[in-house]
Amino acid sequence: MSNKIWLGVGFLGQALFTMRFLVQWIQTEKNRKSTIPVSFWFFSLLGGLTLLSYAIYRKDPVFILGQSFGIVVYLRNLHFINREKSDARH
What pLDDT does residue 62 have? Answer: 95
pLDDT band at 89 (very low <50, low <70, confident <90, very high): confident
**Percent of the chain's residues with pLDDT above 90:** 88
DSSP string, 38-64: HHHHHHHHHHHHHHHHHHHHHT-HHHH
pLDDT band at 19 (very low <50, low <70, confident <90, very high): very high
| Mean pLDDT in residue range 35-51 | 95
Judge residue 5's burial from the number of C-beta atoms within 10 Å of its C-beta, 0-12 exposed, 13-18 middle, 19 or more buried.
exposed
User: Is 52 within 8 Å of 67 (Cβ atoms)?
Assistant: yes
pLDDT at 1 over 80: no
| Mean pLDDT in residue range 45-74 | 95
Q: Which residues contact 8 (CB under 8 A, 6 or more apart)?
A: none
pTM here is 0.87
